[in-house]
Amino acid sequence: MRTRPPDSLREIQFQLGIAPHAAGSVLVSFGNTQVICAATIEEGVPRWMKEQGVSGGWITAEYSMLPYSTHSRKPRESSRGKPDGRGVEIQRLIGRALRAAVNLEALGSRTLWMDCDVLQADGGTRTAAITGACVAASLAAQKLLREGKLSASPMVHKVAAVSLGIVEGRILLDLNYEEDKDAAVDLNLVMTESLDLVELQVSGEEAVFSRQQLDALLDIGGRGIQQILEFQAAALRTAQK
């Protein structure tokens, strides 16, 4: 049972530096959903970029759910022997979101690997992953600046994401698993600090929705993202001290 108002977020926390060997890392929590996001910098770019003469850098993301992140154990992909379609879709989404946040030209000839591993899944793991990946990428960019490898930050936007749904006719912001499984409409929203859209995934699950409902979802989602961006900025300020 949801005890907080329909348009309010779960408690959001960022624990920076969770993976010390990464160039930037964070454990992000949206309520009980917890995702470890880590950025690793690799000098050089994928071969296709060199072959096609594409200048600048690249960002690629990987997403996985740790076996014990779900109620019943989820076998690792390495033991299943085949890629998980949902995971592939989510990691592409994370990659696109981060490429909107970073000026690839300014990144120079390097690859930023974004690894997002779900520690505990309770709905909204992809949106938490995007929000955390932006923090990890910002920390990695600060490291490149500190080391004198870059003279200006390649981060052009901050991005954050949140999920929404319509459950029993009510719009709910930031759904947990119990709410998500009953949702007639599912929406994942990725936006920048100017509240420009980076990605909008919305689908009716055996249901339809009106333009008015879509507008209301976007309004509530936009306000949620604004708050998430404030928490994100506050977390990053602590890293600069």
Interface with ligand UDP by CB under 6 A: which residues?
Answer: 70, 74, 86, 121-126, 163, 177, 180
Cβ proximity to ligand UDP, 131 vs 163, nearer residue = 163
In angstroms, what is the minimal distance from the CB of 118 to ligand UDP?
8
Q: Give the nearer residue to ligand UDP in terms of CB position, either 7 or 182.
A: 182
- Smallest gap from Cβ 48 to ligand UDP, in A, equals 28
Smallest gap from residue 164 Cβ to ligand UDP (A): 11
Nearer to ligand UDP, 60 or 70 (CB): 70
Shortest CB 71 distance to ligand UDP, Å: 6
Rank residues 64 and 138 by Cβ distance to ligand UDP and give the closer one.
Answer: 64
SS (H, E, C) the chain: CCCCCCCCCCCEEEEECCCCCCCEEEEEEECCEEEEEEEEEEECCCHHHHHCCCCCCEEEEEEEECCCCCCCCCCCHHHHCCCCHHHHHHHHHHHHHHHHHECHHHHCCEEEEEEEEEEECCCCHHHHHHHHHHHHHHHHHHHHHHCCCCCCCCECCCEEEEEEEEECCEEEECCCHHHHHCCCEEEEEEEECCCCEEEEEEEECCCCCCHHHHHHHHHHHHHHHHHHHHHHHHHHHHHHC
Closer Cβ to ligand UDP, 130 or 141, answer by number = 130
Q: How far is the CB of 240 from ligand UDP (least distance, A)?
A: 30
